[in-house]
Structure 1
Amino acid sequence: MRQESFEFLEKYLNTAAPTGFEAEGQKVWLEYMKPYIDEYFVDTYGTVVGVINPQAEYKVVIEAHADEISWFVNYITDQGYIYVRRNGGSDALIAPSKKVNIHTRKGVVKAVFGWPAIHVRKVEQDKAPAMETIFLDCGANTREEVENLGIHVGSVITFDDEVMVMNEKYLVGRALDNRVGGFMIAEVARMLKENKKQLPFGLYIVNAVQEEIGLRGAEMIAHRIKPDVALITDVTHDTQSPMYEKKVSGDIYCGKGPVITYGPAVQNNLRDMLIEVAQKSETPFQRASASRSTGTDTDAFAYSNEGVASALVSLPLKYMHTTVETVHLDDVENVSKLMYEFLIQLPAGHDFRYFK
């Protein structure tokens, strides 16, 4: 990976962008994108769209989502302890002993998820952490001290973890779901610019907000852009680590390439074109199936307007919704490569309908 690309990726992943509060991460993303696009716009809730060939009638979207799971302050006790509620699919089981950042108008306040020691817990207390038992300690002894720090009900909380490289081939950190997707689509824009590729259609590079609470940002922006084609990238589960059941979750590996999904929301002709492109470009890929919906922004685009030809290219990831989400660097590059190769072969006006 280019040094400049990695520096952007590191900065972007380390910037907090919780669901509903994505602005700081979006600013980092947009700054990197500006040299590679013709124009951009930002919608009311913070989705950012970089555009190449904005004058073109035929519109193609490549998309990722920008938000990360987080927590909200929900209740402050008289003794200064803080109880939380989820913002997205946050996991109470991993919370105890983690450091966090509480985001306030006065700045970031450091805190920890406390937990009683193993040798003092009573038998009835010795059970898995749950939403009603996890709590934050910010070093205050009263509710008033907490509030004087700028913390209030509704303050948003993110884990205090930064990205690292493991064994020279894996990227590890929080919020890879799915800011690594934002990185991959940004790299597509860079490759198009640096390779002087002139596309015969308008390309809308979309970094959407609020995916983690129901694909909301994608719903809004799909209706605004009204694209003809949408190629979505998100993460999917590597199923090789312990505790996965392949008969249920499929057989997906980190390091074996992007995952192309089959399912009702995925337009078959578009998916088949992707597979042909992967084969011709010698890009390794894997296959997965989705029941009813993909659970990604693909669904929002596919069922928007009068129906948009949509497909999903996923990045295999270990330990989703933890602070040690893990992806293979080769897969990151191959997702970008596949999307790039798809775009440079797509003719303007291509009709993906099954029959006319």
Structure 2
Amino acid sequence: MTKAEEFLYKYLNNASPTGFEASGQQIWLDYLKPVVDTYFTDSYGTAVGVINPDAPYKVVIEAHADEISWFVNYITSDGYIYVRRNGGSDHMIAPSMRVNIHTDKGIVDGVFGWPAIHVRDAAKEETPSLKNIFIDVGASSKDEVESLGIHVGCVITFKDQLSDLNNKYYCGRALDNRIGGYMIAQVAHKIKESGVKLPFGLYIVNSVQEEIGLHGAQMIAHNIKPNVAIITDVCHDTTSPMYDKKQNGDFTAGKGPVLTYGAAVHKKLLDLVIGVAKKQEIPFQRAAASRSTGTDTDAFAYSNEGVPSALISLPLKYMHTTVETAHKEDIENVIKLMYEFLIQHDPAFDFRYVK
């Protein structure tokens, strides 16, 4: 296993729930530090590696570090735990899942329980919802639960590990969007290894709290005040069953990064990225966003006095589950596209639409 793969598995297998990203950010920074000139973090945990920190022209490449999770919301007298979402966690997939409950005393094991199929009344059968899913930690009272260090507000993540699927895909939880953190870190390593001297400052940004409203990106965009921002996130592979391509678009894992058109995406910057993809024969797909992209692109684009921003998305199967699945070739092509854009970008380019 290469050092990059070792980092990928360590980083993806570590829990990094929204608002509690510190341990993952430390892993990410430790991998990035050898290939950047300096780094900094902000008060809420966004981490930034910088190449050429004294350059006046600043380019950002960005991903978000947080994953969806749950909070302990209520503990019953007989020791069962009810939850609320931290981000877009899916109640439908929760029953029978194993979980880690993160406490000041350490991780406590638990399971989302569910009654057996042969004792449920099919005519009155309830589907999983926030009203009825619950966690069992093997306790028989509220006092016993609390003695384990569990209290209202403890964060909960699914117990799952990254795996290789048929030598073509990576599969696991939290590829949305720690796979983005991996990709931007690989771009920085590629720049270092190639010996390329960039004519601008490069800010490699791993933002927090995207899953609850792009908050980390909003904060760091005002801090850095970049001239250009390239954001990477995930989008849906719509060839999977149960997607309507007329509504969701037509994107296939393995056919390349997805480049988005929309108001927040600066058309001139997008054209530059597409030009690089065509020149370097990097396959890509196209998407259209209505109103907003729903990613950190929006936070950067509308920060300060407006920052030309573009979105490069990785097609992902089964988003917000424990089996998020991404094609290895797409991952490498996102890395290649960001790298090739950076080494070709001219800081003198005029992004004004009207002159």
Residues in 2 aligned to 1:311 and 1:343: alpha-carbon distance in whole angstroms: 13
Partner of 1:338: 337
Per the alignment, in what secondary structure is the counterpart of residue 203 of structure 1? strand
Give, in angstroms, the shift of residue 124 of structure 1.
5.9
The unaligned stretches of length 5 or more in structure 2 are: none
| SS in structure 2 of the partner of residue 212 of structure 1 | helix
Paired AA for residue 267 in structure 1 = H
Shift of 1:325: 0.2
TM-score by length of 1: 0.99
In 2, are the aligned partners of 1:51 and 1:203 still within 8 Å (CA)? yes
Partner-residue secondary structure (3-state), 2:312: strand
Q: Give the drift of 1:4.
A: 1.2
Percent of residue pairs identical = 69
Shift in Å at residue 211 of structure 1? 0.2
Tell me the equivalent position of 1:100: 99
Are residues 1:314 and 2:313 paired?
Answer: yes
Q: CA deviation at 1:9?
A: 0.4
Which residue type is aligned with residue 289 of structure 1?
Answer: A
Q: How many equivalent residue pairs?
A: 355
CA distance in 2, matches of 1:105, 1:300: 33
Which residue does the alignment assign to 1:198? 197
Amino acid paired to 1:103: H
The answer as to 2:185 corresponding to 1:186 is yes
**Distance in 2 of aligned mates of 1:321 and 1:127:** 22
Could you say which residue in structure 1 is the equivalent of 2:211? 212
Question: What TM-score results when the alignment is normalised by the length of structure 2?
Answer: 0.99
CA contact (8 A) 1:58 1:349 kept: no
Residues 293-314 of structure 1: per-residue CA shift (max 9 Å, x gap): 0000000000000000000000
- 1:64-95: per-residue Cα shift (whole Å, max 9, x none)? 00000000000000000000000000000000
Check whether the contact 1:49–1:207 (CA below 8 A) recurs between aligned residues.
yes
Matched with 1:257 is 256
Whether the 8 Å CA contact 1:166–1:172 is kept in 2: the answer is yes
Q: More displaced, 123-132 or 167-176?
A: 123-132
Distance 1:54 1:267 in 2: 25
Report what 2:34 is aligned to: 35
Map 1:97-246 → 2, pairs under 5 A: 97-123=96-122, 125-246=124-245
In structure 2, how many angstroms separate the alpha carbons of the residues matched to 1:233 and 1:267? 15
- The whole-number CA distance in structure 1 between the counterparts of 2:271 and 2:295 is 19
Q: Which moved further from structure 2: 83-92 or 117-126?
A: 117-126
> Displaced runs of 4+ in structure 1, greater than 4 A?
none
Aligned partner of residue 119 in structure 1, secondary structure: helix
Aligned mates of 2:142, 2:285 — CA distance in 1:
52
- Per-residue CA distance 1:203-259 (angstroms, 9 max, x = gap): 000000000000000000000000000000000000001100000011100000000
Deviations 1:179-223 (A, max 9, x none): 000000000000000000100000000000000000000000000
Report the CA distance between 1:121 and its aligned residue: 1.5
Q: Distance in 2 between matches of 1:33 and 1:96?
A: 37
Q: CA deviation at 1:355?
A: 2.5
The RMSD of aligned alpha carbons is: 0.8
Q: CA deviation at 1:354?
A: 1.3
My pick for the range that moved more, 341-350 or 67-76, is 341-350
- What does the per-residue CA deviation read over 1:86-120, in whole Å, with 9 as the maximum and x for residues that have no partner? 00000000000000000001000000000000111
Note if 1:71 corresponds to 2:70: yes
Alpha-carbon distance, 1:3 to partner: 1.5
Matches of 2:348 and 2:9, distance apart in 1: 37
Q: In structure 1, give the amino acid aligned to 2:204.
A: I
